[in-house]
Amino acid sequence: EAGVTQSPTHLIKTRGQQATLRCSPISGHTSVYWYQQALGLGLQFLLWYDEGEERNRGNFPPRFSGRQFPNYSSELNVNALELEDSALYLCASSLKTGGPAGNGELFFGEGSRLTVL
């Protein structure tokens, strides 16, 4: 069974440009999460999508946005890139099983490394 796949693996942009990152969840998973992993800052929660809807977002400016498609794949868009947006962007998927009956396990992709020059 294929795991979570992310593309591109690496992306180099310049300040002010836009970046689009893509994620395909594990088959059968309806929830997709996006995290930013900047050097020394751990994982910062960006966005959570489930069943095509944005369920929650972290403390990031509106230029970070995304969407989830009917096949549950997802896209993260970062507009007006700034130097501090350089980071590894991780996508994770899970079954929508939350609550006491759920196992809540996240399955991560290998990430997309965005470099802003």
Rounded distance between C-alpha atoms, residue 8 and residue 108, angstroms: 15
Closer of 60 and 79 to other proteins (Cβ): 60
Closer CB to other proteins, 45 or 79, in the complex: 45
Closest CA to 107 of 50, 33, 57: 33
In the complex with other proteins, the residue whose CB is nearer, 55 or 67, is: 55
Cα–Cα distance measured from residue 108 to residue 102, given in angstroms and rounded to the nearest whole number: 18
- Binding residues (CB under 8 A) for other proteins: these are 4, 31, 33, 35, 40-43, 45, 48, 50, 55-56, 90, 92, 94, 96-100, 102-111
